[in-house]
Structure 1
Amino acid sequence: MKNILIIGCGLIGSSLLRAIADRKISKKIFIYEKSKSNILKIKKLRLPCTITNDLKKIIPNLDLIIFCTPLGEYEKMISKINKYLSSKTIITDVGSSKKKSMQLIKNKLKKGIYWTSSHPIAGSEVSGPEHGVKNLFLNKWCILIKEKNTNKKHLKVLNKFWKKIGSRVAVMDSKKHDTIFSMTSHLPHLIAYNLVKTATDFEKQKKYNLIKFSAGGLRDFSRIAASNEIMWRDVFFNNQTNILKAIDLFIKNLHLFKRDIQSKNNKSLVKKLVDTKKVRKKIIKLKQDINRPDFGRS
């Protein structure tokens, strides 16, 4: 590729920038970033890119555009670039929710322009270009979305692109994607936010210095709950139907745990605890984490 544009240069955008530069995937990398603070950081870090505001000038010559903004920014950005786009340019994103955002994109993009959605399963609770790393996507899954109207040529190019970045690629439709990640990603983040809120509410009610004595469980949940609030607000709203179903299932199981504890049902409670431990073993077997105590912390 000759020219790539990354729209939004936070953790994911700057990690992509570093990975593309390190693997020499594109001759030139452009960055469009509205945050003045992030622009200053990019310049201070001397990241290998050209920061631009002149979208009219560069877009006709781009091979690939990657949206790395919160989902709520897509509509505004499409309005900015739509009239300059050509059918040869591949457009993708890194968003965590697909079906609703892809419908919006379909309605807003001019005729003959294709958007082939991606979701790299990589990230952290920190945000900003200073936290980006070139190997963020190494050996991580990247989901490519394939629908009936997907441009197969663009899908093939993106498959190669993500593999060059170091990702393992899987292909599925937006409905399956949103159903899976409502449970594996979106619900855990929502639970983390709620658990930390519950702990702070409890602290206020009891007037105990509870946070000072945070055990490993609350500490680990607090890391997830430190994630970018705008990004997760957009995910929760965009994947609303699936997340509400996941919440209902979670509440149902929570009531079952409550019932077992209340009735001191040893057999039922121990079975639940033993069965859920198997998931951790499966995650390690699939090399989604390391088999070391305390997540390998030193």
Structure 2
Amino acid sequence: MTDEELKQQSVKLKQIKPNKVWADLLLKNVMTQVAKKEVQSLASKPKVAPASASYLFSRYRIALTALGLLLIFGASMTVAQNSLPGSAFYPLKLLSQDLKVALAPEPAKSLVKLTTVEERVKDLAQTEDREEVVQKIAQGVKEDLQNIPADVQKNKDKTAVLDISKKVQEKNEELQKVITESNLQPIIKEDLQNTLAETQDKILALITETTNAISSCPEYLTTNLEKISSYFQNSEVLANWSVDEVTQVRILLGEVDKNLKASNCLEAMAKIESINQLLQIHSWETSN
């Protein structure tokens, strides 16, 4: 076919116009092919669970894991309560006792610690052939006993200090009996008895000191109020104080006045001691 014949044939083809039926069939065919492609594409993608279902499953799994761990921990703690030094569960028992002391309110902390000490002494008395472990725990008991007087003194309320000291004194006497009647090694027993005796002496001294402080409360307040008044009359000293510190002292003095009017001498004493602590801090800063 010549070039001229091709051109004529092309012109004739251009003049051909598709009828409506042909156009509809073509469109339908195209739409069918597109639909097939979409189905194939969807079928090839990995199935993903709805986000909400996946989230709930994850939370459910975490909750089950946490519950399982709690059950295991609870069962372990139950077994640990009956364990003795040298047992794999005994460290859990020590942990639970330490937590009781740590979580106890400040006024009761000393008594809770003494109860823990007594429990550990009884455990040591039942332990055999665990010399290294027994010595280590006995050392911890000794340190706890030595810290008792300082724990009692952390209370600012003199009446509370006196009350706790008397209870600690009674508890110490019970503990002394437990140690004496135990079958602990002689060296460990003697060491604990000596430590407990020293602790008891400090508690007795604290009882005497606190009793005297309570009985001399009015005189104590008079003397210290005069000292505080004299201190703040010195303008050079006062210049070293911040406005907030001066305000704090004024508030404390106002509370002292209220306590005295309410005949609450010990509460007033506690406020005066707080002021004295501020004075000591400034005296130390000035000297350095």
Q: Which TM-score applies when normalising by structure 2?
A: 0.24
Looking at secondary structure, tell me which structure has more strand per residue.
1
Q: Which structure would you say has the larger Rg?
A: 2
Looking at secondary structure, tell me which structure has more helix per residue.
2
Q: Which TM-score applies when normalising by structure 1?
A: 0.24
